[in-house]
Amino acid sequence: MNTPAQIRFFDNRTPPHISTLILLAGISALNMSIFLPSLTRMAEFFQTDYATMQLSVSGYLAATAVLQIFVGPLSDRFGRRKLMLGSLLVFIAATIGALFATSIAAFLTFRILQATVATGIVLSRAVVRDIYPANVSASKIGYVTMGMAVIPMIGPTIGGVLDQAFGWQSSFVFLSLAGALVFVFCYFDQGETVRPGGTSFAQQLRSYPDLLSAPRFWGYALCSAFGSGSFFAFLGGAAFVADHLYGLSAMMTGAALGAPAIGYALGNFLTGRYAIRFGIDTMALAGCIVSIAGLGASLLVSLAGFNTAALFFGFCTLLGLGNGLMLPNATAGLLSVRPLLAGTASGLGGALMIGGGAALSQFAGTLLNDTSGTIPLQVLMLVSAILSLVSIGVVILRTRALASRLPA
């Protein structure tokens, strides 16, 4: 395996540069968020209702969850590079298909195929864990996701501007060009980080019981799943809130949807700076507490009758900050439980996170209507954040119990 000192930019004989990892993770985030301001107009174009159009979010997330179960083991066996290049090619083709779709059925089919780009999220994290030990990998993942956070922060804004100027199809033109650019970076810069021959499927199967029976793996995985679940619930309902309840324009809706990413970028930066000093468990715990504080305050303010777009979306920056502190550290934790199965652990953890997110995203959409207000969405987000705190609490207690059994 290559060491970090050997990394050379645009040399695919060495591990990929961090900028390539940012792009690989970021293209998936961009694909998830860029067209959200256009959902209402897309529903009109395809002559369908908003709930059906919402399947382009929840269905995409569900497909992403299923995909990640297979991506991890395949990358542990055959390597990260080949799988990433193939996934990007499928994504580009599917994006072009969605661009020219004339029916909602065709659009949703191509939208599901776009989920292959989520390979970038799984493998960017696995590559970091291939190269660095646990605490250092948390720091590096923090920097990767900090850069990635800029993309969903500006993605909805770009989508809103493109929609107003050229129509919703222009967002998919932008996505196809972005996918082609990331493919070039991946081809010329991403060297293989899995040992020659990988880990055979037989070896993986023998190791699965050890991974799946580890309480710490499940604690970290559920912490990231419930914590990010609050954000996915936000994605499922925030476009409706901005458009129908607050009457924001497509461009302003895009800006509002990017609010959590502002806090997320800051949280990732703090993780990059302090994960090594304070440890992954402490950082994840702090992130859960920040998310609960922000979402709890948002709910109380709304119950008191002070419900404005500025307050609702402003408090969501604290959700982003909390997730920025929690997610990189919880991810590094679940990858470090069994390092030889980093790809598998990343895929399973990602499947839990995205699968739960898909369910919460769709559920959030069903909770809201023109008379419901924002309260149902705020309650759902807060409950998910509290469950994240419980999960990391279990990990901390388990770690202390294991430490107490060690000989002095």
List the structure tokens of 86: 């193939």
pLDDT for res 148 = 61
Query: HEC states along 1-46?
Result: CCCHHHCCCCCCCCCCCHHHHHHHHHHHHHHHHCCHHHHHHHHHHC
Tally DSSP H helices, then E strands, for the chain. Answer: 17, 0
Q: Which CATH number fits domain 15-192+199-405: 3.30.465.10, 1.10.287.1260, 2.20.25.10, 1.20.1250.20?
A: 1.20.1250.20
One-letter amino acid at 56 equals S
Question: What are residue 311's phi and psi, to 5 degrees?
Answer: -70, -45
pLDDT for res 383 = 95
Give the whole-angstrom CA distance, residue 230 versus residue 200: 36
Range in 23-27, 344-348, 374-378 the model is least confident about: 344-348
pLDDT (mean) for 340-364: 75
Question: Nearest 5 degrees, angle CA 141-CA 63-CA 37?
Answer: 80
Which has the closest alpha carbon to 270: 321, 318, 313, 208? 321
Place 172 in a pLDDT band, splitting at 50, 70 and 90: very high
4 pLDDT more than 60: no
Give the whole-angstrom CA distance, residue 93 versus residue 86: 11
Distance (Å) of CA 1 to CA 5, 127, 132, 292, 356: 12, 11, 11, 41, 34
pLDDT for res 214 = 83
List the structure tokens of 87: 């996934």
Place 204 in a pLDDT band, splitting at 50, 70 and 90: low
Burial class (CB in 10 A: 0-12, 13-18, 19+), 301: middle
pLDDT (mean) for 266-277: 85
User: Which element (helix H / strand E) includes 206?
Assistant: helix 201-212
Given a contact cutoff of 8 angstroms between Cβ atoms, the answer to whether 340 and 213 are in contact is no
pLDDT for res 178 = 94
* Average pLDDT, rounded, for the chain: 84
151 pLDDT more than 60: yes
Which has the closest alpha carbon to 141: 232, 31, 25, 30? 25
Dihedral of the alpha carbons of 77, 143, 152, 308, in degrees to the nearest 10: 140
46-98 pLDDT, tens digit each: 999 877 887 888 788 788 878 877 887 788 788 889 899 999 999 999 999 99
Per the rule left: phi > 0, alpha: psi between -120 and 50, beta: everything else, 3 is beta
Q: At what angle do helices 309-336 and 375-405 cross, to 10 degrees?
A: 30
Question: Nearest 5 degrees, angle CA 253-CA 148-CA 75?
Answer: 125
Given a contact cutoff of 8 angstroms between Cβ atoms, the answer to whether 81 and 198 are in contact is no
Per-range mean pLDDT, top range of 172-181, 343-352, 370-379? 172-181
Q: Could you give the residue ranges of the DSSP H alpha helices within 304-367?
A: 309-336, 342-367
1 pLDDT more than 50: no
Give the whole-angstrom CA distance, residue 347 versus residue 325: 21
Give the whole-angstrom CA distance, residue 169 versus residue 160: 11
